Amino acid sequence: MSVTVLNSSLKDNNLTGQRTISRRSFIAGTAVAAPMILSSGVLAANGRPGANDRIVTGHIGVGGKGSSHLKSIPENVGALCDVDSIQVEKAATLLDRKVPIYSDYRHLLERKDIDAVVIASPDHWHALMMIHACQAGKDVYVEKPACKYIEEGRAMVNAAKKYKRVVQVGSQGRNHPGAETLRKFLQDGMIGRVTRVECWHNDNPVGGDPLKTGNPPANLDWDMWLGPAQGRPFNPDYCHKNFRWILDLGGGQIRDRGAHVFNLVSWFLDLDRTGPSEITASGKRPTEGIWNCPTNFKVSYEYKKPNLTIEWSQPGVRAADFEFGAVYHGTKGKTIVRGGDGRVFLDEQVEAYAQANNLEYTLPKGVPAHSLNLQNWFDCIKTRKTPIMDIESGHRVASMCILANLAYRLERPIEWNARRERFDKDKAANLLLGSPGRGKYHI
């Protein structure tokens, strides 16, 4: 059998937009230190349909949000993968038939009968998995936040372009009819030009027991779970969902729900291809437990084009009776948006605008927003059009979250060149834009 060995490091990878690359370009190690190998016939043709024109999906990471995707498109599912055998076996019971199960996503990518993959792994795996899927000829749905580092986000964008893949990011708010109504409301100038957006959210939790460190359970491949992240002994308070409260793994509420809230801000105000020019952040460093995301976290983003300020506060001042949302201040008034993910609630003036213009602003009964996001992705796989939350948009939104945490870590304002995606006058900050990965797990 002829094979293609994918082998390079970030330092040689122009998918970041910074350096050169060889034709065969990526590597990820296995738990036994073998290089990633794909069979020569694995690359699919552009837009290749599944049997009977059904798009067959492989699912990587099937706990939590990954399981909800299975429930939304059970008839499309062709294979499952998770590094936790208990988690993947539980997910398999959601289907009315048996499908292949894997612990290593690269074996799933070798399947010629898989047209596209849905990635709902922990955040630190998103980039490597998405890039490998694109190289294997699969279209991709990758959960938010799109990336952990800005350089790997740019590599994801470039991989989607290089391999002509349709990539949708799982910030489903854009497919909520209420969000579409809000976008029209704002772009029709109903509150004038938006000059400031104030976002509020509940605070990061503090906790995690450092004394729980020990051997991982037999059902979990801990080395593979860590992948490109910094090595550390197993502790159940790091995973599964608790990774969000570790700066090196998740990055806190701003990278979790913030990716939803900023997703709408970016879409409403046409910021998908740009970014802030200056970022200031402050927060209180936890003094107990292993979760190290800051509390009382406040971030300010300044934009030059357009002239705009975006503020993020945890917990902030609630403008409405909801745990998170945003207030859009314009030159003629303001509007309050509760939620921002699959839940988007309008204030009375926007509801009146919707009714006057015969616009739908609530989800169809029993249909979650992520189902509409998946359907948009399926439609674009067939037409090869750009999905509503494409990887460039997802990368730019994730960059906002990443830059906030960078400013907090550096303990000073940072000036950002959004076009170059670099700090023009800050070499120390540039060193934090990427990562060499861990051992054999790297782009």
pLDDT digits (tens, 9 = 90+) for 113-137: 999 999 999 999 999 999 999 999 9
Structure-block tokens of residue 240: 């599964």
Lowest-pLDDT choice from 26-40, 156-170, 385-399: 26-40
Cα distances (Å, whole numbers) of residue 371 to 32, 40, 100, 103: 37, 34, 23, 26
- What pLDDT is stored for residue 42 in this prediction? 30
Count of alpha carbons within 13 angstroms of residue 115, beta-carbon side: 19
Closest by Cα among 235, 172, 201 to 367? 172
Q: How far apart are the first and last CA of the chain?
A: 25
Rounded-to-integer distance, Cα 404 and Cα 327, Å: 19
Helices 150-162 and 126-135 sit at what angle, rounded to 10 degrees?
Answer: 10
Cis peptide bond N-terminal to 306, omega within 30: yes
pLDDT band at 12 (very low <50, low <70, confident <90, very high): very low
CA dihedral over 126, 119, 80, 8, signed as positive or negative: negative
CB under 8 Å to 403, separation ≥6 — which residues? 150, 275, 276, 279, 301, 414, 416
SS3 438: strand
224-241 burial: b if 16+ Cβ within 10 Å, else e: bbbbbbeeeebbebbbbe
306-317 tens-digit pLDDT: 999 999 999 999
Lowest mean pLDDT among 25-29, 280-284, 369-373: 25-29
For residue 191, CA distances in Å to 345, 350, 421 come to 17, 10, 32
pTM, 2 dp:
0.89
* Residue 228 pLDDT > 70: yes
pLDDT band, very low/low/confident/very high, at 28 (cuts 50, 70, 90): very low
Q: Report which residue type is found at 57.
A: T
Where do the domains of the chain lie, and which CATH numbers do they carry? 3-172 (3.40.50.720), 174-365+391-421 (3.30.360.10)
Three-state DSSP state, 213:
coil
Distances (CA, A) of 167 to 26, 160, 431, 438: 18, 7, 28, 26
* Lowest-confidence region among 24-38, 66-80, 205-219, 268-282: 24-38
Helix (H, G, I), strand (E, B) or coil at 141: strand
Q: Strands 324-330 and 194-201: what pairing?
A: antiparallel
Q: Provide the percentage of residues in the chain whose pLDDT is more than 90.
A: 86
Closest CA to 377 of 391, 393, 392, 388: 388
**CA-CA-CA-CA torsion sign (126, 131, 134, 138):** negative
Residue 49: predicted pLDDT: 46
Residue 52: what pLDDT? 52
Indicate if the pLDDT at residue 6 is higher than 50.
no
Mean pLDDT score, 262-281:
98
Secondary element (H or E) of residue 221: none
Q: Provide long-range contacts, Cβ within 8 A and 24+ apart, for 67-73.
A: 67/91, 67/94, 68/368, 68/370, 69/118, 69/120, 69/141, 69/370, 69/374, 70/94, 70/95, 72/368, 72/370, 72/371, 72/374, 73/371, 73/374
Instruction: Report the distance separating Cα 52 and Cα 332, nearest Å.
Output: 53
One-letter amino acid for residue 166 of the chain: V
pLDDT for position 53: 81
Pairing of strands 77-81, 101-102: parallel
pLDDT, average across residues 406-425: 97
Peptide bond preceding 240 in cis form (omega within 30 of 0)? yes
Q: How far apart are CA 125 and CA 354, in angstroms?
A: 40
Q: Which residues are bridge partners to 144 per DSSP?
A: none
- Give CA torsion, residues 93, 115, 157, 179, to 10 deg: -60
pLDDT surpassing 70 at residue 392 = yes
- Above 90 in pLDDT, residue 10? no
What is the average per-residue pLDDT within 73-87? 98
Confidence check: pLDDT of 39 > 70: no
What is the per-residue pLDDT across 45-63, written as a single tens digit (0 to 9) for each? 344 444 458 999 999 999 9
Please report the pLDDT score of residue 17 as a whole number.
56
pLDDT tens, 319-347? 999 999 999 999 999 999 999 998 999 99
Nearest of 313, 361, 50 to residue 196 by alpha carbon: 313
Sheet of 167-169: strand order equals: 101-102, 77-81, 57-60, 116-119, 139-142, 167-169
